Amino acid sequence: MPIANGTVLTPSVLALIGMPGLEAVQRWTGTPFCAMYIIALTGNSLLLVIIQSEPSLQEPMYVFLAMLGATDIGLSTSIVPKMLGIFWFHLPEIYFDACLFRMWLIHTFQGIESGVLLAMALDRYIAICHPLRHATVFTRQLVTDIGVGVTLRPAMLVIRCLLLIKCRLKLYRTKLISHTYCEHMALVKLATEDVFVNKFYGLLGAFTVGGLDFLLITLSYTQIFITVFRLPQKEARLKAFNTCIPHMCVFFQFYLLAFFSFFTHRSGTDFPSYVHITLSNLYLLVPPFLNPFVYGVKTKHIRDKAIKMFHSREFPQWLRG
């Protein structure tokens, strides 16, 4: 409802305008994002099927990998369909409450992915640095508790951000969100009121989840490297490195894109808005797109099972080419 000075009282409908400055090419920009989404869905779904159907892949490492695949499917699905609706079908409108819910999904899946990467790093740390204790430490109950913990932690943190928006911010200068999805800061910046508390809590949540996870993952791999370099046999060192390479690739691609997106978004006016938005989209879509390739190529058990499944008589002929 419009009120004085052109402000709006908690608009019932918002509009996502996509990438300001790239309106002329947005239709074509959607094509690579759509391709990445289809590949991410296919690759992660295949990963889940392989892990679920193979008894030898029920170890903690593969359980965490299945959680990562499911998270990637949820994360990309929370973003791409609406983005393509904006780019291809000119459907930018979204209900305010639906935008908040989608924001909760996106940032929760981000936090879950970060937590799963931490769990995978800790699993590798115990397996390499304390191999005799791995089976007793990473029990089925502990893996379940970790799964619940990495899910509830971001879910509870993000829901408070939504409540702060819903309860504190009532006046908005516009209904237009300069983004392709409902991102926390993009929505908060529309408010005409004091948003310091919202910004502070958003930063606190980001550092509590992403910052703490990054620190612990870095410490884990540092200790892993120290242990591996002390191994007397060259073959043992190479085997240990090979088990860590997929995790390290996923870790670096996730956090490097996250840091680029985070700092360019807060670096002032030197970067056009479409640069921020493009980096944000890549940060959320590149990991789900690349993770199946990283683990499919570098993890022998998964690679062998995928090849066996692909050549199986029961595998659909049209998928074999």
Which residue spans within the chain are E strands per DSSP?
8-9, 13-16, 93-95, 171-172, 176-177
Q: Are 54 and 298 in contact (CB under 8 A)?
A: no
pLDDT for res 321: 46
Q: Which helix (H) or strand (E) covers residue 200, if one does?
A: helix 196-206
- The overall pTM is greater than 0.85: yes
For 241, residues 6+ apart whose C-beta sits below 8 A from its C-beta are 228
Instruction: Say yes or no to pLDDT of 12 above 80.
Output: yes
pLDDT digits (tens, 9 = 90+) for 114-146: 999 999 999 999 998 998 999 999 999 999 999
pLDDT for res 171: 92
Residue 241 corresponds to which amino acid? F
Q: Say how far apart CA 114 and CA 45 lie, in whole Å.
A: 20
Instruction: Say yes or no to pLDDT of 97 above 50.
Output: yes
pLDDT for res 23: 81
pLDDT digits (tens, 9 = 90+) for 271-315: 677 878 888 898 889 999 999 888 877 777 888 888 877 776 555
* DSSP string across 73-140: HHHHHTTHHHHHHHHHH---EEEHHHHHHHHHHHHHHHHHHHHHHHHHHHHHHHHHHSGGGHHHHS-H
pLDDT for res 270: 63
Q: Say how far apart CA 33 and CA 277 lie, in whole Å.
A: 13
